Structure 1
Amino acid sequence: MIYLIGFMGSGKSTIASRLAEKLQCSCIEMDESIEKQEGLTIPEMFAQHGESYFREKERDFLRSLEGEAVVSTGGGVILSKENCEMMREGTVIYLHAGWETIVHRLKNDTSRPLWSGDESEKKQRFEDRLRLYKEAAHHVVVVDDKAPEVIAEEIAARLK
């Protein structure tokens, strides 16, 4: 199992599909899968049950995975030590996007519950998670100013 981790807006979903194509395996979008299982969108889960409920669903989802696939994880999956341990049984790739890249990509995004709030809160969340992403990862790939195809190629080369 290959897990792509990184802050929201780092390109996990886009890269996962490209990488899965290159590796000829399936691609799993964690957030979409959890939404389908729960019959609720992530913003609805946050609003109705809180963030801890969603984090529990992430953990359950990771436990249920079998076989070979490229998994695009949620940005906060690394907040749980247990999640990190489960993912490290496979290969964990951290897609590192700089703060400016994240802001540029998400400036008009209203679908992410943790992207609301003031700029300093968002930047603090980003900075607080950097160390966790690096600690969880087997490989760090910088994604700033690179096309998705180039990033997928770089990851595939590292996995050989």
Structure 2
Amino acid sequence: MKENGHVFLIGFMGAGKSTIGRLLADRLRKDFIDVDALIVQKENKSISDIFSEHGEAFFREKEAAYLKKISGGSIIATGGGILYFSETLEWMKQNGTIVYLQAPFSILYERIFQDSNRPLAMTKSEASLKELYSKRHDVYSSAADLIVPTDCRVEESVDLIIERLQKD
């Protein structure tokens, strides 16, 4: 783990970024920040409302801006599309360790199907979500410092992250 650096959790919707992030932060005694929740708080609107009123590009711009304002060595759960801006990825690489939380699409789809808090899951077909997953998987894999499976118990994923962070 980079000295005083963040741990950025990336991955597709339903990968466990928020759930794993909270437990990881508790175990490492660090602050936990969910960027999606931060945006909802700062914008005083739900993610679905932001998407419908301003579009995904606006949301991604806000996501990048709020991310860069976080200080200290926090555990940060990012949105599934955080890597849309190459400058955001570069900033993340310079300011912490990027952990890709990975699970097969079939498991993720079961977790997100008809979740009203996930605008993309509500508006896209299973086939289009699978295509999005495939595209993002390649980006996540190439961006990540660590790849950790999340198709197991949450505690197992957290243990693996801690073990791998301590090796770096």
Q: TM-score range by the shorter chain?
A: over 0.9
Aligned residue number for residue 101 of structure 2:
95
Note the C-alpha offset of 1:142: 1.3
Q: Structure 1 stretches (4+) deviating beyond 3 angstroms?
A: none
- Gaps in structure 1 of 5+ consecutive residues: none
Higher alpha-carbon deviation: 23-32 or 112-121: 112-121
Equivalent position amino acid for 1:3 in 2: F
- Are 2:88 and 1:83 aligned? yes
TM (normalized to structure 2)?
0.92
Contact 2:100 2:146 (C-alpha < 8 Å) held by counterparts: yes
Q: Is the 8 A contact 1:79 1:132 kept in 2?
A: no
Alpha-carbon distance in structure 1 between the residues aligned to 2:114 and 2:128: 17
The amino acid of 1:92's aligned partner reads: I
Between the two proteins, the alignment pairs up a number of residues equal to 159
- Could you tell me how far apart the structure 2 residues matched to 1:109 and 1:45 are? 16
**Partner residue, 1:158:** 164
**Aligned 1:100-111 pairs, distance under 5 A:** 100-111=106-117
TM-score for both structures, normalised by structure 1 = 0.96
- Unaligned runs of 5+ residues in structure 2 are 1-5
CA distance, structure 2, for counterparts of residue 47 and residue 98 of structure 1: 28
Q: 5 Å matches for 1:36-115?
A: 36-89=41-94, 90-115=96-121
Q: Deviations over 1:120-152 (max 9, x none)?
A: 1111111111111011110001111x1111111
Asked if 2 retains the 8 angstrom alpha-carbon contact of 1:62 and 1:86, the reply is no
- Provide the aligned C-alpha RMSD in A: 0.9
Q: Aligned partners of 2:159, 2:39: CA distance in 1, in Å?
A: 28
